[in-house]
């Protein structure tokens, strides 16, 4: 296509957007609402997946030591853990160190549990050679003497997946529904454009304009509607996510995990939202072209 | 060159508009298509520029085989054919020159060529001084001239005029007729559907009379007076 032709199509499509006024605004707002929810939902899903994967790949097993265990017994337990073939390192963390971590994550209010009122256990942090070995090592550790409990990331990951599963399904269903509403509204505005430009379309057909030439302005009008609708969600999700990321960084960092950084998540997601906007716009336009634009 | 062989058109509601029509029109001919309302004139005209598809039969226009023509090839057929209607079909928001340029822009003609050609056709139809007027500032005859200028802008081989004088007074009709004859004299085939017996009788050309979906008369120099 010639550059001058494309410029003409762009001008035509903007003229139609302007001429359809209220309908165009309604369609853009509907895309905005839809993509805002889709954006929030995507940020949530991407992060749940990311954290779950981190948890799954975690090679640490936390072996909690009975509170009444003596130093000698603890040393024996450490040796027993080190003797396991799947274990690479065993690190001791006292109940006071564990409490310090909690205070670091959740605030100084937890200092009231200091000294004898500290409910936490001394812990051996056992690193396995592979993430897959954590379950086996945890189960084996549980059977050893002086072990109160042994936990590993994989179990947490499974729980996390289970908890977010229904969220994911509802979110997906709701998003699809909203996308359909947006497509319907866009197809309606494009239909109005097609009907109002009937004479022009007739003349174009008569003098031999190609089908694609006739269709381009309508397709562009739909695509602009989708793209303009995507701008506000992109801005809101970007700012909102940066704020949430900043606020939650401490909590997650102390647990050894992190949310996806804004840089790694948002560039791709902004692009995705813009593409979704353009695609639903184009699909909306295509539906009306199929029904009302007989070439 | 236009050739129709055993062409029939039956609409979806089972109404037969044309039945076994056979006709040949040579390049450069001037042909009237006459007949009462509902006889099949419009169907005949619409088959030529592939607004309608024939139900059966063969239609050749130059090297285009219409029944075989794919939808995406139709625009290229239509670039060989200019069409003019009774109601002009001009775009009211565009000036005279823009209306003509529009027909060239949408087939992606070079802007410089458009400029030259618009000036040229405006002179041919005698509206060089009204290039910047809007259609509603013109008389009916002038509007029809603009429509004709637009139809010939892309240098079509064939000009189809469907009742071009239907909305015009006798004097203006004469002027339009003279213009169509001038265009014809330069080698463009003109096919004109009309009810205007005065024009047909005073500007004698080949005449096809359609009645009940059939060509009942095909005379080299036919007039309305012979009808019947």
Per-residue confidence (pLDDT) for residue B225, from 0 to 100: 60
Q: Do B103 and A203 touch (CB under 8 A)?
A: yes
Distance of CA B181 to the CA centre of its chain: 13
Q: What is the pLDDT of residue A286?
A: 92
Residue A209 and residue B75: Cβ atoms within 8 Å?
A: yes
pLDDT value of residue B227:
46
To the nearest whole Å, the CA of B95 is away from the closest chain A CA by 14
- CB–CB of B107/B154 below 8 Å? yes
CA dist., res. A145 & res. A135, Å (int): 18
How many Å lie between the alpha carbon of A199 and the closest alpha carbon of chain B?
Answer: 7
Contact A207 B91 (CB under 8 A): no
**How many inter-chain contacts (A to B, CB under 8 Å) are there?**
51
Task: Please name the member of B71, B83, B108 whose beta carbon is closest to the beta carbon of A5.
Answer: B108
Task: Profile chain B (228 residues) by mean pLDDT over runs of 10 residues.
Answer: 95 93 96 92 94 94 92 92 93 93 91 95 95 96 96 95 93 95 96 93 94 92 67
Q: For testing the chain A interface, which of B61, B69, B75, B104 should be mutated: the one with the most A CBs within 10 Å?
A: B75
Residue with the larger pLDDT of the pair A1 and A149: A149
B51, closest residue in chain A (CA to CA)? A206
Banded model confidence at residue A157, pLDDT cuts 50, 70, 90: low
Higher-confidence residue: A181 or B49? B49
* Residues A209, B107: C-beta atoms closer than 8 Å: yes
Q: Chain B: residue nearest A202 by CA?
A: B89
Among B72, B89, B154, the residue with its CB nearest the CB of A203 is: B89
Mean pLDDT of A74-84: 91
Residue-wise pLDDT for A230-239, tens only, equals 999 999 999 9
CB contacts, 8 Å: B75 with chain A: 205, 208-211
Is the Cβ–Cβ distance between B149 and B127 less than 8 Å?
Answer: yes
pLDDT, mean over chain A: 85
Measured from the Cβ of residue A235, the count of other Cβ atoms closer than 10 Å reads 12
Report the alpha-carbon distance of residue A269 to residue A261 in Å, rounded: 12
Query: pLDDT-based confidence at A114, cuts 50/70/90?
Result: confident
The per-residue pLDDT for A254 is: 58
Sheet (strand B56-61) strand order:
B16-25, B2-10, B56-61, B64-65
- Interchain CB distance below 8 Å, B103 and A207: yes
Does the pLDDT at position A162 exceed 80? Answer: no
* Cα B69 from Cα B50, distance rounded (Å): 9
Task: Kindly indicate the confidence band of residue A256, based on its pLDDT and cuts at 50, 70 and 90.
Answer: low
Point out the residue among A2, A199, A204 whose CB comes nearest to the CB of B106: A204
| Nearest by Cα to A82 from A121, A123, A126 | A126
Cβ of residue B46 closer than 8 Å to a chain A Cβ: no
CB contact under 8 A, B107 and A207: yes
- Burial of A144 from C-beta contacts in 10 A (0-12 / 13-18 / 19+): middle
Euclidean distance between CA atoms B94 and A131, whole angstroms: 72
Residue with token string 């909590």: A251
pLDDT-wise least confident of A47-51, A85-89, B109-113, B159-163: A47-51
* For A217, nearest residue in chain B (alpha carbons): B106
Structural fold of domain A60-152 = Alpha-Beta Plaits (3.30.70)
Q: Is B71 an interface residue toward A (CB < 8 Å)?
A: yes
Which residues in chain A have their CB less than 8 angstroms from residue B154's CB? 207-208
Tell me the pLDDT tens digit for each residue of B142-194. 999 999 999 999 999 999 999 999 989 999 999 999 999 999 999 999 999 99
Chain B positions in Cβ-Cβ contact with residue A202 (cut-off 8 Å): 89
- Cβ–Cβ < 8 Å for B174, B1: no
Domain ranges within chain A, ordered by starting residue: 3-56+158-293, 60-152
Distance from CA of B82 to the nearest CA of A (A): 7
Q: What is the pLDDT of residue B228?
A: 44
How do strand B64-65 and strand B81-85 relate by DSSP bridges? Answer: unpaired
Cβ–Cβ contact B70 with A under 8 A:
no
CA B208 to chain CA centroid, Å, is 15
Listed as own residue / partner, the contacts of B36-42 with beta carbons closer than 8 Å and 24 or more positions apart are B36/B211, B37/B195, B39/B210, B39/B211, B39/B212, B39/B213, B40/B9, B40/B210, B40/B211, B40/B212, B40/B213, B40/B214, B41/B193, B41/B210, B42/B162, B42/B193
Q: What is the pLDDT of residue B65?
A: 93
Query: In the prediction, which pLDDT does A295 show?
Result: 60
Q: Do B91 and A203 touch (CB under 8 A)?
A: yes
pLDDT at A253: 62
Residue percentage of chain A with pLDDT more than 70: 94
Shortest alpha-carbon distance between residue B183 and chain A (Å): 18
Chain A nearest-CA residue for B160: A206
| DSSP single-letter state for residue B216 | E
Query: Between chains, do A295 and B150 touch, taking CB under 8 Å as contact?
Result: no
- Residue ranges and CATH numbers for the domains of chain B are 26-52+79-222 (3.40.50.300)
- Which residue of A200, A204, A207 is in closest CB contact with B154? A207
Nearest to A210 among B75, B102, B150 (CB): B75
Residue B219 three-state SS: strand
The distance of B77 to chain A (nearest Cα, Å) reads: 7
Q: Which of A203, A207, A290 to mutate to test the interface with B (most CBs of B within 10 A)?
A: A207
Least confident of A82-96, A151-165, A183-197: A151-165
- Residue A60: the pLDDT is 84
Give A207's contacts in chain B (Cβ within 8 Å): 78-79, 82, 103, 106-107, 150, 153-154
CA dihedral A177, A181, A184, A185 (to 10 degrees): -160
């Amino acid at each position: 296509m010639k550059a001058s032709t494309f410029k003409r199509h762009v001008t035509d499509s903007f003229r139609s957007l302007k001429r359809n006024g209220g309908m165009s605004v309604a369609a853009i707002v509907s895309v905005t609402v839809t993509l805002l929810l889709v954006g929030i939902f995507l940020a949530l899903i991407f992060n749940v997946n990311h954290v779950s994967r981190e948890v799954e790949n975690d090679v640490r097993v936390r072996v909690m030591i009975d509170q009444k265990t003596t130093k000698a017994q603890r040393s024996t337990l450490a040796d027993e853990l080190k003797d396991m073939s799947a274990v690479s390192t065993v690190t001791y963390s006292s109940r006071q160190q564990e409490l310090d971590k909690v205070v670091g994550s959740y605030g100084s209010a937890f200092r009231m549990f200091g000294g004898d009122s500290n409910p936490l256990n001394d812990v051996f942090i056992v690193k396995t050679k592979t993430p897959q070995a954590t379950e086996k090592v945890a189960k084996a550790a549980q059977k050893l003497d002086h072990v109160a409990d042994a936990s590993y990331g994989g179990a947490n990951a499974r729980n996390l997946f289970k908890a977010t599963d229904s969220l994911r399904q509802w979110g997906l269903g709701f998003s699809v529904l909203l996308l359909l509403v947006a497509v319907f509204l866009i197809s309606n505005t494009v239909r109005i454009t097609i009907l109002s430009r009937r004479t022009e379309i007739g003349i174009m057909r008569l003098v031999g304009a190609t089908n694609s030439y006739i269709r381009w302005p309508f397709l562009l009008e739909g695509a602009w509607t989708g793209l303009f609708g995507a701008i506000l969600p992109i801005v809101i999700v970007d700012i909102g996510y940066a704020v949430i990321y900043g606020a939650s960084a401490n909590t997650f960092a102390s647990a050894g995990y992190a949310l996806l950084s804004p840089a790694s998540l948002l560039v791709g997601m902004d692009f995705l939202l813009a593409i979704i906007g353009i695609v639903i716009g184009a699909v909306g336009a295509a539906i009306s072209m199929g029904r009302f634009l007989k070439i | 060159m236009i050739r129709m062989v055993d062409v029939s058109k039956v609409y979806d509601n089972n109404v037969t508009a044309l039945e076994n029509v056979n006709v040949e029109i040579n390049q450069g001919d001037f042909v009237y298509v006459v007949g009462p309302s509902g006889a099949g004139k419009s169907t005949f005209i619409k088959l030529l520029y592939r607004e309608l598809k024939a139900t059966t039969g063969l239609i050749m226009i130059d090297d285009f085989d219409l029944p075989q023509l794919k939808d995406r090839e139709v625009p290229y057929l239509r670039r060989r054919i200019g069409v003019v209607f009774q109601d002009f079909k001009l775009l009211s928001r565009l000036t005279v020159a823009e209306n003509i340029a529009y027909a060239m822009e949408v087939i992606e003609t070079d802007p410089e060529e458009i400029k030259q050609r618009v000036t040229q056709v405006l002179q041919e139809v005698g509206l060089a001084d009204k290039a910047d007027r809007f259609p509603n500032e013109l008389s009916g005859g002038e509007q029809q001239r603009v429509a004709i200028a637009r139809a010939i802008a892309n240098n079509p081989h064939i000009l189809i005029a469907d009742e071009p004088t239907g909305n015009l007074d006798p004097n203006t009709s004469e002027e339009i007729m003279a213009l169509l004859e001038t265009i014809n004299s330069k080698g463009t085939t003109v096919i004109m559907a009309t009810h205007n017996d005065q024009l047909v009788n005073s500007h004698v050309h080949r005449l096809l009379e359609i009645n009940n979906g059939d060509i009942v008369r095909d005379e080299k120099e036919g007039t309305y007076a012979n009808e019947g």
